[in-house]
Structure 1
Amino acid sequence: MTPIEQGSVSVPAIQQYLTCAEALGTPTQDVLDRYGITREQLSDNTARLPGGVFQDILGELIRDTADPLFGLKTAQHVQPITYSIYGYMAMNSRNLGEAIERTPEYEKLVGDMGITKLIPRDGQFFARWDSNMTDPLVRRHVIENVLASWTIFARWITGKPHESGLEIRLEHAPPTRRELLPEFDRVFGCPVLFNQRETGVLLSAESMDLPLIQADQTVFSSLQETANQRLAELSGQTPVAVQVKSALRTLMKGGIPRKDTVAEKIGMTSRTMQRRLKEEAVSYQEILNELRHEMAIDLLENTDLSLEDIGHRLGFQEPRSFHRSFKLWTGETPGNFRKSTE
């Protein structure tokens, strides 16, 4: 994962936190002034802030409000624009599942706060969120903001005010003041588990199929075109190796995509892609192997897919090829690795 200090965050993403701090009686102008951020900058929804600045501002707001539920409370201020143009794409998706499935591809428009993965599990779906925040205090509040915002936004776009996940999992410990726990139950409307090895929400297949009240494929297609253009602009500021890895992750749905398909995804020819990677002192195969390694561990830990299915998804034609590569990466077989994580 990329630490937040190496990324950036869209202006709309910080507005939730500023609005909440003001609502709690904490002025925000002094904090913004210290970081040289003007109200004019905050009125530009296409502008972005350095990731480190975003994290530092949140740290100050959290300490100034002295509210242990600040992250949870910020979710009450979620709006479509909070998610940049992707918020409006989500609203116009066919159903909730489609909106969630597209999140990994477009969440960079919102910022580099973390990475979403949708993992099928026993007829259900786990939407996992891996935070890039490096400040432990900020990380806790941002995680609670993200999951609570997902919950509230999903209720709004489905028109179901009481819709909830099956379970919320949080990597951090519960609040030290036990009287605060009922607020988690109120916000999420489902069991909330703390000290978990992963963060995210468990969803039923029925929830994924829920239609959206504003679904409009014509509007969606128009928004998607604009979103793709913005992603391309952002990619121009991102190392090609990172772009290639991201494109491969999106395209690997059951095999290895062709190089020219990956190059087209990031807006360049295959020859240009290879040249740019050489300039960055990394090869296409190295990136592919690194991603296969990461995906293999993820699928072994978080799904019930057979070893053969996992190998196929990673583009290995023969099970023994997958076994050989995995042992080279980790020093143990896929089967033994899975047993050690159970």
Structure 2
Amino acid sequence: MKDAGYSTPTSLRRYITMATRCGVNCNPALLAAGITPQRLAGKDPVPITNAAMEHFLERIIPVTREPCFGLKTAQLIQPDTFDILGYIALNCASMREALALFPLYEGAAGDIGYTTVERRGELTLVRWNCGARSPLVRRHMVENVLASWTLYTNRIIGVDAKPLRVWFSHPAPGDVGLLRHYHDIFRCEVLFGQPCDGSWIDDSHLDTPFPQANRALLATLLEHAARRLEAVDRDASISHRVKNMIRLMLAESLPSRERVAAQLGMSSRTLQRHLSGQGQNYNTLLRDVRRELAIHYLEHSSLSLDEISRRLGFSETRSFHRSFKQWTGTTATAFRKDLPRQP
């Protein structure tokens, strides 16, 4: 599944609903893409490959004759729009925490695109990097995702945190009259032909409390997301699976090779043999995961160093400080202080 990539049926259903409202019968396009009704039905519907999703959209978008198809599909926002990621965001304490977690777990809800969060002075750029190959599909997917981010925050989470500006890398629509639809949703400056696709957010909005935050439920959701990531990656390399399992188990305590091996259904010796075959070893992977998470938390969250240390499985904060200096050549305090302010 990892090689082909996948999308959630939830996102496909919204596109189908929008196309149906445009008077289009979606069944021929679904069948042409190899998507049967059974794959979309049931409590646990089968994930849709990215190739099938793109094939469907490439056929359906032109016949809707809706130039803002992706943008208007975002108006169908629901709590499950972003699958488990939406519920994770809903239970975070703030947008800052949600943005820190989103890139780590979004693979649990599909991999047709990925999010990066970049601090630029007093602003934060939240980019979405779309993997669709078709320019037509990419345009509508990007507009849908960025609009959905804004509407989900406003309508579902209940926080009015409109972006300062929105960037699209594709050209503006030919009909200037269509621009009002963008401004109705984003309520800010919308620019086209930009270096990337993303929303610029004032850092002052990042710590606005989310009204439905629930720490206990968030912990459960993160565990579920991590397990789903591990399931999605069963066909990936053993080192990739080990890193995902380490990320999951770090939430409780520092995982040993024996515990990780047991979770993967093999003995510690068998795990080490597989890793050796890939030129890897367990301690190196554990170090890599801790380093990656440490840098991510320092760059994209306001977590204290004590809390970061705890999340990475260190029994003492001073041990975290010592390890971080070994990993990066600088201290965690200096690293956070010296983050770039302006591009």
TM-score, normalization by structure 1:
0.72
In structure 1, how many angstroms separate the alpha carbons of the residues matched to 2:89 and 2:210?
9
Q: 2:15 aligns with which of 14, 17, 23?
A: 17
Indicate which of 181, 192, 208 corresponds to 1:210. Answer: 208
Preserved contact between residue 90 and residue 212 of structure 2 (Cα < 8 Å)? yes
Which aligned pairs between 1:124-163 and structure 2 lie closer than 5 A?
124-160=123-159, 162-163=160-161
Does 131-140 or 36-45 show the bigger shift?
A: 36-45
Residue equivalent to 2:97? 98
- Give the deviation of 1:33 after TM superposition: 2.5
Residues 232 and 267 of structure 1 are in contact (CA less than 8 Å); yes or no, is this contact kept in structure 2?
Answer: no
Residues 36-68 of structure 1: CA distance to partner in whole angstroms, max 9, x if unpaired?
433332124542011111111111121221222
SS of corresponding position for 1:211: coil
Q: Is 1:79 aligned with 2:91? A: no
Contact 1:104–1:116 (CA<8 Å) still a contact in 2?
A: yes
Deviations 1:7-57 (A, max 9, x none): 111111211111111112112122223334333321245420111111111
The SS at the match of 1:173 is coil
Match of 1:317 among 329, 333, 339: 329
How many residues are paired up?
A: 292
Distance (Å, rounded) in 2 between the aligned partners of 1:186 and 1:174: 16
Query: How far apart are the structure 2 equivalents of 1:190 and 1:29?
Result: 37
Residue 243 of structure 1: how far off its partner (Å):
5.1
Report what 1:223 is aligned to: 221
Residues 158 and 212 in structure 1, CA contact (< 8 A), matched pair in contact too: yes
1:11 and 1:44 in contact (8 A); partners too:
no
Distance 1:266 1:231, change over 3 A: farther
Moved more, 35-44 or 73-82: 35-44
* Residue equivalent to 2:66: 67
Contact in 2 for aligned 1:12/1:45 (Cα 8 Å):
no
Retained in 1: the 8 A contact 2:79–2:86? Answer: yes
Distance 1:196 1:62 in 2: 24
1:159 deviates by 1.8
Alpha-carbon spacing, 1:267–1:55, altered in 2? closer, same or farther (3 Å) = farther
Instruction: Provide the TM-score with structure 2 as the length reference.
Output: 0.72
Give, as a single letter, the amino acid of the residue that structure 1 aligns with 2:206: M
Give the Å deviation of 1:77: 1.1
Rounded Cα–Cα distance in structure 1 between residues aligned with 2:262 and 2:201: 31
Deviation at 1:283, TM superposition (A): 5.3
Which string of whole-angstrom CA distances, capped at 9 and with x for unpartnered residues, describes residues 237-259 of structure 1? 32345557889999xxxxxxx99
Maintained 8 Å contact 1:158/1:210: no
On the 8 A contact 2:234/2:241 being kept in 1, the answer is no
How high is the sequence identity, in percent, across the aligned residues?
31
- 2:308 maps to what in 1? none
